[in-house]
Structure 1
């Protein structure tokens, strides 16, 4: 079983500003994870998406994160401090929706925006939920104003 402490350490490395140090570790953890470790794979894919140099790869990792999330159970993300797995859904939809927007896939982006907004009820009122709400609001504004996507 993929050790949550290894995942947390690799994610912390990335979040502390060392993506070149954390990315290979996240990738190795993904490679060594079992296909039935949905919670671990969801978290790994979620962070790997942000480290991709090309938008197509980023979106694919975001899709993988959401695919894995579909098999995550209520308490599966407690080891990373998420008390209810449903609390991760808005972020996953936000990231995928923004990726689709940047690819010019506007209808798919709107679908992810809707799913993300619907999932907001799972969040408590704290700094994290504020950040996700602002992100979804920004995505909505960009879609409503036809902010041109930046393809990479």
Structure 2
């Protein structure tokens, strides 16, 4: 089954990748008007995540990244897997926290940036090792539950986490 909203979000993403940030921003704005803050969590997380990337204002970028995180918190694996069977919501969190860390860094809130960096690291460790995060940042290991592997995406997230750590040092 084709998800027309995800197809439209992907079209906006292709605009952005192709260099048309303004066009992507317009596409995402129109889509958000139809999805709204109470729409399907999968649509909200995907749209907000990509919308943040086309914002020129760091404060607006933060707002969209916070929307993406809130949407992920209400998204279930079952709903994500209706779109693609490989998706696990816990795999979204390293990138979401990384983006928030970068947003806070741009805005000069280094304490919040470091907090988000720490959350990104805990979530990244949990999803690449199959561990489940616990309160206090410790984790229990379960290799069958790894949400990110050793692919290019996971490597890119790991590199971006270390890059942010360097900018915050």
TM, length-normalised to structure 1:
0.85
Q: Is the 8 A contact 1:2 1:33 kept in 2?
A: no
Unpaired runs of 5+ residues, structure 2, are: 128-147
Distance in 2 of aligned mates of 1:118 and 1:95: 15
* Partner residue of 2:154 out of 107, 125, 129: 129
How far is the alpha carbon of 1:3 from its aligned partner? 2.1
Q: Please say which structure displays the higher CA radius of gyration.
A: 2
CA RMSD of aligned residues (A): 1.9
Spell out, residue by residue over 1:96-119, the C-alpha distance to the aligned partner (whole angstroms, 9 max, x if none): 101101211111111111111111
Equivalent runs, 1:2-151 vs 2, <5 Å: 3-34=5-36, 35-78=38-81, 79=83, 83-120=87-124, 121-122=126-127, 123-144=148-169
The number of residues matched between the two structures is 144
- 8 Å contact kept, 1:2–1:32: no
Higher relative contact order (CA 8 A, sep 6+): 1
Q: 1:31-60 CA deviation, whole Å, 9 max, x = no partner?
A: 100413111111111111111121111111
CA distance in 2, matches of 1:40, 1:18: 21
